[in-house]
Amino acid sequence: MTKIGIIICARYRDCGGGKCFRALRERVGAFSRYPASEPVEIVGYTSCGGCPGGNIELVPEEFRKNGATVIHLATGFIVGYPPCPDIRRFKAFIETAFGLPVVVGTHPIPQKYIDVHERLPFWKEGGMAELIEPLLRESDEIKTAYN
Ligand code: SF4
């Protein structure tokens, strides 16, 4: 069984996880990689701890002890203003230090964010385009449904 730990951007630390848990149930966004027939379990959900993300150093170990097989960095990392500047370092650190694969994203990117970000010249700089490409493949209908 896939066991997932979710880390969210602390700017949204009070978020109730509505879109993330809905997306997991609907197997859309970054969760489309898990077939609907495959059981999954959320084994942890927390924030990065706030800039510069001190909890990234600690919480993956707690997730791993609870059986995590994969970690998702929530979609808020890439749709906030500004997008998290350290997301690539976080992904590399977690994968190197804890041996857990890191998936960028949780729920689909809401279309209303894409509409604004696409007009910002810096959104896809520094490797971000590569990170978000799988999420951008989502259908417009679904992205709009997550506005
Ligand atoms: S921008 Fe990055 S480091 Fe800062 S709170 Fe959000 S995820 Fe954490």
Model confidence band, residue 81 (pLDDT cutoffs 50, 70, 90): confident
What residue ranges define each of the domains in the chain, with the CATH number in brackets?
2-145 (3.40.50)
- Residue having the nearest C-alpha atom to atom 6 of ligand 1: 9
**Is it the case that residue 42 has pLDDT exceeding 90?**
yes
**Statement: the pTM of the whole predicted model exceeds 0.85:** yes
pLDDT (average), residues 116-132: 85
Looking at the predicted structure, is the pLDDT value of residue 122 above 90?
no
State the CB neighbour count (10 A cutoff) for residue 107.
28
Probe target for ligand 1 pocket from 12, 13, 48, with the most ligand atoms within 8 Å of CB: 48
Residue 28: count other Cβ atoms within 10 Å of its Cβ: 19
Q: Look at ligand 1, atom 7, and give the residue with the nearest C-alpha.
A: 9
Q: Is the pLDDT of residue 126 over 80?
A: no
The DSSP output letter for 130 is H
In this prediction, residue 80 has a pLDDT band, given cuts at 50, 70 and 90, of: confident
44-79 pLDDT per residue, tens: 999 999 999 999 999 999 999 999 999 999 999 998
Gap from CA of 85 to ligand 1 centroid (Å): 8
Question: Does the pLDDT of residue 127 top 90, yes or no?
Answer: no
Rounded distance, CA 108 to CA 97, Å? Answer: 28
Question: Cβ(71)–Cβ(101) under 8 Å?
Answer: yes
Residue to substitute in 7, 8, 11, 102 for testing ligand 1 pocket (most ligand atoms within 8 angstroms of CB): 11
Higher pLDDT pick, 116 / 123: 116
Kindly state if the Cβ of 51 falls inside 6 Å of ligand 1. Answer: yes
Task: Give the residue whose CA is nearest to atom 2 of ligand 1.
Answer: 84
